[in-house]
Amino acid sequence: MQMEQQILRIPGPTPIPPSVQRAMSQPMIGHRGQEMQALLEALKGKLKPIFGTKEEVLLFTSSGTAALETAVVNAVEPGEEVIVIVSGAFGDRFTKICEEYHILVHRYDVTWGEAASPDQLQHLLQKHQDVKAVFATFCETSTGVLNPIKDLASVVHQYSNALFIVDGVSCIGATETQMDEWGLDIVVTGSQKAMMLPAGLAFVAASKRAWEAIEHNQQPRFYLDMRKYRNKLEENSSPFTPAVSLLLGLKQAIALMEDEGLSTIYKRHQLMGEMTRNAFHALNIPLLTKDTDGSPTVTAVRPADFSAEALRKVLRSEFGLTIAGGQQHLKGAIFRIGHMGYCNPADVLQIISLMEIGLRKINKNIELGKGVRAAQNVYLNNK
């Protein structure tokens, strides 16, 4: 194997399209000049359809976790009550952020690998009637679950006056998101997943009712103050030094998304998820999630009779193929395959083919080509 050749198929960061890399290599421009103003003016309108909103999408030079913290610190005050849906490591992260700010958290713990239940959420809302917000993870990256955000939002608004705040880091741009129509009050994501960029940008959008809460929130905040970003964005500027190169890349990434069309992007990701899942079904290798709960952007596999870490190691050493392991109590028990952003069905066929060889290398008795054939049939039947 050529050591410089790497095949990155983890659920973030994801590969970068060559044209986006070239865009980020453009000469630096002044972050307070007219060129930057023109860039921000163009970007702010183009981000709205990806979120399914007419509201402004704020741009932060930060990680996705900073976006989660932004949602917490702007919407909720110390001492207030919230419900956090914890279906994996990133729901748990929402809990930790809330607790750090002395917010009273009622956890709705979901078995890892399962989707949150709207009925269970309804029960909690009826039990805790003073909650200020409900936090949920759209795609739980650690388990490969896509939570039923539309249905959860409906329950939140039917049974409470709480804000519904959504972590969309590993699916916005790959999964249909209708923030306004579904009643999502704050939605956040990061640049390094389906948005096809390096890490370093975060995106936050808020509904009108969320903005009312933000305006009246007495919680101190400085760098993560959404009001600063909204006010500066109205002037096509930013309150602090932006990641100029990433913004230049973002313009090109959105151009690629516009060329393909959002509905086509969503279908492509759904297809890749189905190809991946059906391949492992054909190989009789268990998945962590049910097909009805599985995400179109990441698939979690829970082998019963071979080592997930042994497979990851041989794929890395033999082919330069990097897939992700498990997190927290699933560490060593699962492996995760990212198929989002700059990824297409041909990449999925490559992944499955290499995995079959890797499985044979670690003495897992499988029929070569069986998984690939199943993935091929899914592709053909979807055309």
350-372 pLDDT, tens per residue?
Answer: 999 999 999 999 999 999 999 99
Domain check: are 60 and 202 in the same one? yes
Q: Is residue 335 part of a domain?
A: yes
Q: Give the residue from 227, 258, 289 where a domain finishes.
A: 258
Tell me the residue range of the domain where 251 lies: 18-258
Beta-bridge mates of residue 146: 139
In whole angstroms, how far apart are CA 88 and each of 100, 105, 110, 139, 327?
19, 16, 8, 10, 9
Average pLDDT rounded to a whole number, residues 170-190:
98
**Which contiguous run of DSSP H or E holds residue 358?**
helix 345-361
Q: Which two tokens stand for residue 330?
A: 């699933």
Residue 382 carries which DSSP code? T
Question: Residue 163: what pLDDT?
Answer: 98
| Average pLDDT score over the chain | 97
- Whether 3 has a pLDDT exceeding 70, the answer reads no
- Of the chain, the percentage scoring pLDDT greater than 90 comes to 98
Our measurement of the distance from residue 118's CA atom to the centroid of its chain's CA atoms, rounded to an integer in Å, reads 21
Residues 218, 319 share a domain: no
In Å, what is the CA distance from 97 to each residue of 77, 183, 192?
12, 23, 21
In a domain, 1, yes or no: no
Question: What confidence tier does 2 reach under pLDDT thresholds 50, 70, 90?
Answer: low
Q: What one-character DSSP code corresponds to residue 114?
A: S
The two structure tokens encoding residue 209: 């009712």
pTM, two decimals, is 0.96
pLDDT at 258 over 60: yes
d(CA 230, CA 353): 47
Q: What is the average pLDDT across 177-205?
A: 98
Instruction: From 241, 258, 275, give the residue that closes a domain.
Output: 258
Residue 126 has pLDDT above 90, yes or no: yes
As given in the structure block, the two tokens for residue 285 are 């290798």
336 is in an annotated binding site: yes
What is the CB-side half-sphere exposure of residue 157 using CA atoms within 13 A? Answer: 16
Q: How many domains, the chain?
A: 2
The residue ranking higher by pLDDT, 37 or 5, is: 37
C-alpha 131/C-alpha 371 separation (Å) is 47
One domain for residues 225 and 308: no
Tell me the Cα Rg of the chain. Answer: 21
Q: Please give the average per-residue pLDDT across 200-215, as a whole number.
A: 98
* Same structural domain, 36 and 139: yes
**Domain co-membership, 252 together with 299:** no
Residue with tokens 């939570």: 147
Residue 2 lies in a domain: no
Q: Under 8 Å CB-to-CB from 62, ≥6 apart: which residues?
A: 70, 200, 201, 202, 224
Do both 285 and 323 map to the same domain?
yes
- Any idea which of 3-12, 276-285, 306-315, 317-326 has the lowest mean pLDDT? 3-12
Instruction: Return the structure tokens found at 106.
Output: 């009622």
Distance (Å, whole) CA 120 – CA 348: 35
What residues pair up with 365 in beta bridges, in sequence order?
none
Q: Over range 90-101, report the average pLDDT.
A: 96
CA end-to-end distance (rounded Å), the chain: 34
Assign 5 a pLDDT band (cuts: 50, 70, 90).
Answer: confident
Q: What is the DSSP string of 13-44?
A: S----HHHHHHHTSPP--TTSHHHHHHHHHHH
Other C-beta atoms closer than 10 Å to the C-beta of 306 total 15
pLDDT 10s digits, 271-311: 999 999 999 999 999 999 999 999 999 999 999 999 999 99
Look up the CATH number of the domain holding residue 337: 3.90.1150.10
